[in-house]
Amino acid sequence: MIAVIQRVSEAAVAISGQEKASIGTGLLILLGIEDADTREDLDWLSRKIVHMRVFPDEAGVMNKSLLDVAGELLLISQFTLHASTKKGNRPSYIKAAKPDVAIPLYEACIDELSQQLGKPVKCGVFGANMQVSLINDGPVTIIIDSKNKV
């Protein structure tokens, strides 16, 4: 799993011009799932996201987690994170999981993150054409790949 984590002061997702979900201070997560991903990847990544210290403390040092600041989380599925650009100019998405694999993992990720946060996770709609807007605070953007956890 690949996650692009962005610290935001606000973020929203719309589908066909209608807002689906929005958050204030928190994290916007773009999540890419590949065929080789497992529940172990999901659990590891969820823990990392919730406990990652990317919010400033009283001294302005990034020392607080999403839990510490009672922040919100907006999770968006994004298969294009697994694009291969090695050959030609048209990306290949062969590594991206098909819906029969990706949807259950995406839904499990929503549940796991909600459980760890102690509140609902806002999300987009898997496979939909979504418009995501955000104010990246910092900017802080971090990319995590569960295949590089060692």
Q: Which of 42, 45, 14 is nearest to 27 (CA)?
A: 45
Q: pLDDT > 70: what percent of the chain?
A: 99
Q: What is the CB neighbour count within 10 angstroms for residue 83?
A: 15
**What is residue 149's predicted lDDT score, i.e. its pLDDT?**
78
Please give the model's pTM, rounded to 2 decimal places: 0.94
Q: Which residues are catalytic?
A: 78-80
What's the whole-number mean pLDDT along residues 137-142? 96
Distance, in Å, from the CA atom of 7 to the CA atom of 62, rounded to the nearest integer, reads: 11
pLDDT band, residue 6 (cuts 50/70/90)? very high
**What is residue 21's predicted lDDT score, i.e. its pLDDT?**
98
**What is residue 52's predicted lDDT score, i.e. its pLDDT?**
97
Distance, in Å, from the CA atom of 132 to the CA atom of 20, rounded to the nearest integer, reads: 10
Inter-residue contact 23 to 124 (CB < 8 Å): no
Could you tell me the residue range of the domain that residue 66 belongs to?
Answer: 2-148
Number of domains in the chain: 1
Which pair of tokens denotes residue 115?
């459980």
Q: What is the CATH number of the domain that holds 107?
A: 3.50.80.10
Q: Which of 21, 25, 3 is nearest to 137 (CA)?
A: 25
Distance, in Å, from the CA atom of 123 to the CA atom of 91, rounded to the nearest integer, reads: 26
